[in-house]
Amino acid sequence: MLIKRLFLICSLPSFIAGCSGLYGTQPPAPVFGRGAVVYTKPTPVLPKPTASKPIIDQDDSTETVKTKPLEEFVPITAPIEIEPEPVIPEPEQESAAPEQEQEPVASEPAQEPVISAPKPAFSAPPPPFEPLESFAPLSPAVNALALASNQNSQSGNVEAATASIERAIRIEPRNATLYYKLALLRLKQSKPRLAEDLAKKAALLASNDAQLKKHSWLLVARAREMQGDLKGGKEARAKAGQF
C-alpha cells in the first residue's frame, strides 16, 4: 500500500501538467440552432514605434551665455586732490568816519559811607566807681591774708592777691568782706560776670553792715555796665541808694 501511495503522489504532478496543456485548444461545446461558432481571442495590434522629438520650451533659446570671473577689487588709496573754490572778493565798504576824540574826564573819588556809632541808652555817662576802703575788723589769720592780698594787688600781681583771698575764704566761708574783696579782684581781671555773682553774695551775707551792702550793689552795677547791661546797672544803683 505504501508503494502505491508513493506512486500516485509522484504521478500526480505530471498528470496535472498534461491537463493544463489541453486547456484552450479544445473547441467549445456546440450550440444547436445557429451553427457552430468558435470564439477565438483577437490578437492585440501594437502601434508602430515613432521617433520621439524633444520638446523644446518657447522660452528656451539656443544661445549660450558666457560668464567671466570678477576681477579682484583693489581699493584706491591714492589721495584725491580737491580744488579750492574761488573766493569772490566782497565790495569794500566805505570807511566809517573817525570818532571824535573825547577829552578824559577826571573821575571823582568815591565817598565812603559814614557809619554812625549807636547812641548809648543813657546820654550821661555812669558815675565813677569808688570801692570801699574801711571794713569791719577781721581775725588775725584772715587779716594777715587780706593785707598780703592788698600788697600783691598794689604791686600788680593780681593772681597772688586772688589766691590769698581764696585761702582766707576757706578759713571764714561766711565773711562778707572777703567776698567783696574777691569781687574787686575779679573786676580787675576783666571778669565782670564772676564779680557780679561775688558782689551779690557779699550783699547777702552783710546782713547788719549797711555800708557794705550799699557798696556791694554799686559793685554789681559796675559789673553789669561792663557787660553792656546799662538798664541792669541802673537798677542796681537804685537798689544801692536804699541803704
Read off the pTM.
Answer: 0.49
Domain extents in the chain: 140-240
What's the topology of domain 140-240?
A: 1.25.40
Q: Give the DSSP letter string of 126-168.
A: PPPP----------HHHHHHHHHHHHHHHTT-HHHHHHHHHHH
Query: Confidence class of residue 96 from pLDDT cuts 50, 70 and 90?
Result: very low
- Residue 7: all three cell numbers together: 506512486
Give CA separation, 188 vs 84, 107, 131, in Å: 93, 53, 12
Query: pLDDT per residue over 178-189, tens digit each?
Result: 999 999 999 999
What is the rounded distance in angstroms from the CA atom of residue 218 to the CA atom of residue 237? 6
Query: pLDDT per residue over 70-86, tens digit each?
Result: 666 555 555 666 666 66
